Structure 1
Amino acid sequence: MMFKKILVPLHLDYTENHEKLFAGALEVLNDDVGKLSLLYVNENRAHGSVYPILDEENEKHYNHDAYIELKKIAQKHKLPEDKISFNIRDGSAHREILEEARRIKADAIVMMATKPGLGSYFISSTPERVIRHANCSVFVIRLTDYQSIK
């Protein structure tokens, strides 16, 4: 089955995962009419301890820098420019992923599973919540070898 609107949430720190993530997304994308929507969720406001440090002006710059980074990632991986959009959302990752999927009427979400912690034996909490509540297909790309943030 090929999908027309695929949401691809990205974590900007896990750059070594992106190649496998995009390979998975492109594998299920309809070549003729498919579109990828790259999403970065700025969780700074979701974590109260960080919020007081980031005033509105800093937040704007932070989100602009994330947008530039998304564009660089797309270029690095030679993603077709005419089939890509970029979005930044503020808030809790799983909620914003689900909301963005609804907003763009995604028919699939393709995301990475980060290394499970003790609290989540099979899959990390964000993909687990997205899978549970999504109104569309969700593909979770697992790494065979987990790598840490640089």
Structure 2
Amino acid sequence: MFENILVPIHLEYKKNHKKLLMGALEVLNKETGKISLFNVDESSAHAGVSPILNQDHDSDYKEEALKLLSEIASEYQLPLERVELIVRHGAVHQQILEQAKDMNADAIVMMATKPSFGSYFISSTAERVIRHAKCSVFVIRLDNL
């Protein structure tokens, strides 16, 4: 069982949250394990858009994302005393890898869709994380988004 699990969550794909979180709870140490629910605002990752966005956007996004992550934790009855909520900005795969390193995660549990023709030429977030993570990565195959 794992003690320190990072769970990246895409806030818009609500129908898949349950399967993702149940997968994380399956590998979590039930007594002492900690789950970090994690979301990335990727709007600043795109150089063409970044100069247009201002400080208020970052603050507003983070506030709303933390609220939604808190609601998700409550809705799925996660052990709230062992849940951390984290929001970062940037390229999703890079932020997942950096957060996993920063928190010394021993596992990442993340969602991925079935591969499409395009994913054979452009790596998906899950593929990039699997390739570069220093810890175990569990990929929960989800319904098409």
Which deviates further from its counterpart, 42-51 or 83-92? 42-51
Sequence identity percentage: 56
Alignment partners' CA distance in 2, 1:56 and 1:138: 33
Is residue 2:45 matched to residue 1:46?
yes
Whether the 8 Å CA contact 1:116–1:124 is kept in 2: the answer is no
Report the alpha carbon displacement of residue 52 of structure 1 after superposing the two structures with TM: 3.7
Report the alpha carbon displacement of residue 90 of structure 1 after superposing the two structures with TM: 0.7
Aligned to 1:72: 71
Residue identity matched to 1:113:
A
Alignment partners' CA distance in 2, 1:84 and 1:130: 22
Aligned to 1:31: 30
TM-score (norm 1): 0.90
1:19-61 deviation digits (Å, cap 9, x = unpaired): 0000100000001110000110110100234324421112211
5+ unaligned residues in a row in structure 2: which ranges?
A: none
Residue identity matched to 2:118:
G
Q: CA RMSD in A?
A: 1.6
Residue identity matched to 1:4:
E
Aligned to 1:138: 137
Alignment partners' CA distance in 2, 1:109 and 1:94: 12
1:79-117 deviation digits (Å, cap 9, x = unpaired): 110110011111000000000000110000000003434
Residue identity matched to 1:105:
N
Aligned to 1:84: 83
Alignment partners' CA distance in 2, 1:27 and 1:113: 17
Alignment partners' CA distance in 2, 1:90 and 1:131: 20
SS at match of 1:116: coil
Alignment partners' CA distance in 2, 1:113 and 1:49: 27
Q: How does 1:112-127 map to 2 (within 5 A)?
A: 112-121=111-120, 125-127=124-126
TM-score (norm 2): 0.93
SS at match of 1:51: coil
Whether the 8 Å CA contact 1:20–1:141 is kept in 2: the answer is yes
